[in-house]
A = this chain, B = another copy of it.
Amino acid sequence: MALEHAILVSLTERAGSGYELARRFDRSIGYFWPATHQQIYRVLRRMDEAGWVKHTEIAQEGRPDKKVYRVAAAGRAELTRWLAEPEDPAVLRDGLGVKLRGASLGSVDVVLKEIERHRAEHATRLEVYRSIQKRDFPKPSTLHGRDLHQYLVLRGGIRAEESFTAWCDEVIEALRKDNP
């Protein structure tokens, strides 16, 4: 599995503390692999014990000390091993589909409102992603290597949110027509 690997990818790009990693996940890698600070701390300790990463304690003024992690040789080896290993395709998992499926057992109107709410949230995420795209990748055709990969991951997030909001629109329209 992969929180280990997601962290290794992030740490290879740049060393950082658990806290910093948690914030990075909220942005970039988190589009495809969300994680809370709790998970991250636990996995960091595990990887430290396994020798995949090393940490240095850094004393700070006015702030708590922090542990900055770097990827060790064993971690790099594990990462390349994992990159070459096939992975099971992901599955969708969204309670909203279950709600829609069961809508007629409760109030269709309430479920409709819920779908509108989700649509709004996903549209907000979409706007966030689009503004990142504009800011960080204004000329996609000029990208290469790591920057290109990062851009393509962002594109995945954008496409997923576009598709989801479009589905919500289809559902909302159909339910409105059916439920006058």
What residues make up the interface of A, taking CB atoms closer than 8 Å to B? Answer: 1-2, 5-6, 8-9, 12, 28-29, 31-34, 76, 79-80, 83-84, 86-87, 89-107, 110-111, 114, 117-118, 121-122, 143-146, 148-150, 152-153, 155-157, 159-160, 162-164, 166-167, 170-171, 174-175, 178
Contact = CB atoms under 8 A, between A and B. Distances in A.
Contact of A95 (B34, B90, B150, B155): B90
6 contacts: A2-B95, A5-B102, A33-B97, A84-B106, A90-B95, A159-B166
Given A79-B105, A83-B103, A98-B9, A93 B34 contact: yes
Contacts of A170: 152, 155, 159
Contacts of A155: 167, 170-171
A32 B97 contact: yes
Given A84-B107, A160-B167, 13 more contacts: A1-B95, A5-B102, A8-B102, A31-B92, A83-B99, A86-B114, A87-B95, A89-B96, A94-B156, A104-B146, A104-B149, A155-B171, A156-B171
A97 B174 contact: no
